[in-house]
Amino acid sequence: MEMISEQRIPASLDEVWTALNNTEILKQAMPGCESFDAVEENKFEAKITAKVGPVKAKFKFNVEMTDIDAPNGYTIMGEGQGGVAGFAKGSAKVDLTEDGTDTILAYNVQANVGGKLAQLGARLIDGAAKKMADEFFGNFNELLSDNDSA
């Protein structure tokens, strides 16, 4: 599954870059995220509850930021195990571009799943993955917009 989209964020490039590297903001933006903790530089552990069709599972993800090009973007990769539900792994390449006082955040998400989740069918999986990515980047945008007006 691949998804490409973008968000216009009413904040400066530096503010968006700082937020993309703030574990608390990432945790708040991620749907179903219970924890998002640094384990070493650019490596994190996240616990996320996700529902895909009839399957609801808790995943423990190992997350790593690579291809870091401050403050223009990075790639964030994650691999998680959801017990009997199976596994999920994916990456998001995030590119930031200044546009006046706003920042354009473009993202290219790639994801795949295995185990019980994979048996649900590609359309259902793709729909759930797209919804989660859209929610994450939408929430991220809202957090920065709210923060800007505070």
Q: How far is CA 125 from CA 50, 108, 122, in A?
A: 12, 17, 5
What are the structural domains of the chain?
A: 2-149 (3.30.530.20)
Q: Identify the band that residue 9 occupies on the pLDDT scale cut at 50, 70 and 90.
A: very high
Task: End-to-end CA distance of the chain: give it in Å, rounded.
Answer: 37
Q: 71: cis peptide before it, omega within 30°?
A: yes
8 A C-beta contact, residue 109 and residue 132: no
pLDDT of residue 20: 96
Task: Considering only residues 21 and 54, tell me which one the structure prediction assigns the higher pLDDT.
Answer: 21
CB 111 within 8 A of CB 118: no
pLDDT at residue 147, rounded to an integer: 65
Q: Is pLDDT at 150 greater than 60 in this prediction? A: no
Task: State pLDDT tens for residues 38-60.
Answer: 999 999 999 999 887 788 889 99
Residue 121 scores a pLDDT above 90: no
Mean pLDDT of 4-11: 95
- Please give the full DSSP string across 118-150, using - where no structure is assigned: GGG-HHHHHHHHHHHHHHHHHHHHHHHHHHHH-
**Model's pTM, two decimal places?**
0.89
pLDDT in tens, 61-115: 999 999 999 999 999 999 999 888 888 899 999 999 999 999 999 999 998 888 8
